[in-house]
Structure 1
């Protein structure tokens, strides 16, 4: 069986920046083991599997090692595939997902995704987290599955060299590090999730579901320009709207073809 595949750089202003995502278009979902094998073969942070339907387009996401309940950048990429390649006359698509309905809209030259905000609560600093990061955060919080560590400056975030093996042994599946931005950006962050097969994610929509309410509570603002300071880097326009987070960014098509299943 031959099926279409697209690879895009999401939250990117040009190719080879942002976060690469594969989007595989299917008539139905095959066995989970096959989906996982395709994601492992693609070896990207996430592969999105899209099943078209007259009722609602269904979407699932896999890292190279596990299925995940939410992936922002691969959803943005899937939205761009639908709105630019599969149905170019449309400006909006709603995906049926494990995290509920997720909407992607065309907004001029970029795409806007509507995601659920995450509840963030402060916790005492776990010694194992400080050891893994190699620094002592000013504040530590959790958003459910991730630790969030506030560092003193944006340069501290950019220069951080954590012990990824130690991060993989933590009792949370990922770590977000953040600081107030400098220059043009309000917020700077990085995200590490080696336990999910992602040593460092280039640009993470899901992490900003926690970062936006975290920084809104600290600053009283509901709109931010954020930069994820990975090697590839990516920029996100962020807005907190009640219990939802709106993220906007560009998508650059890199690859279009077919795969054999």
Structure 2
């Protein structure tokens, strides 16, 4: 099997979020795909299979410990593999069928790829797990809950940069992970994503979290086109747009390695 490792949501190597992508002609057993993802030990390993319809593919995503319903950076990386390394379609749009429904990816100029994902609307969290508060040394100004994640809103970018969660506490929070966010200095908003429940303490750049972040900040800032940064150690940049019940998340991808699984 061919294996690609790519850095997503970055214009330079050794930044953004690394993902593994494995093209398949047919699905492997679930247990085997999970073991491969654990062996890769990256935030996500994506597997995809052509559906037989031009420009359409099935996609699945695995962390080192679980299969997830949606992953942005690994979808971006997979689109790069399809567009530039494997199928190389003439069209500038492809569709991935997934557990979160159809996901379109468009190819634009200068290497930008645009994800078209469903919006995740959030509500004020009422019944809070105690660990959600004890895991952080700074208190947020708001706590919201989306489909899979909690979102903690802070006042400043400096607070986001300085957060040091207690992951032993955070892992007990019943959610995929926890987003922390605040207005940005040089961009519209910044964020970080902590997901010890999903096998990674801090995710470098989390495309799927922006399905929650974009509608929230679009409403707060009164604009639909937004620039975002994820403030992990590797860092990542995203161009975002709210389009009704969908969000567009654009980023660039850098190819790190090609290999074979024996």
TM-score (norm 1): 0.96
CA distance in 2, matches of 1:226, 1:119: 18
Partner of 2:131: 128
Of 248, 258, 261, 2:260 maps to 258
CA distance in 1, matches of 2:244, 2:210: 15
CA-atom RMSD in angstroms? 1.1
Partner of 2:94: 93
Partner of 2:107: 106
Residue ranges of structure 1 left out of the alignment (5+ in a row): none
Deviates most, 79-88 or 19-28: 79-88
CA distance in 2, matches of 1:71, 1:173: 12
Q: How does 1:33-182 map to 2 (within 5 A)?
A: 33-55=31-53, 56-88=56-88, 89-109=90-110, 110-124=112-126, 126=128, 127-182=130-185
Residue ranges of structure 2 left out of the alignment (5+ in a row): none
CA distance in 1, matches of 2:191, 2:127: 18
Q: CA deviation at 1:171?
A: 2.2
Q: CA deviation at 1:128?
A: 2.5
TM-score (norm 2): 0.95
Of 196, 204, 207, 2:206 maps to 204
CA distance in 2, matches of 1:53, 1:206: 23
CA contact (8 A) 2:138 2:159 kept: no
Note the alpha carbon deviations across 1:152-179, whole angstroms, 9 max, x for none.
1001001110111111011222100000
Aligned residues: 257
Q: Does 1:25 align with 2:26?
A: no
CA distance in 1, matches of 2:50, 2:134: 46
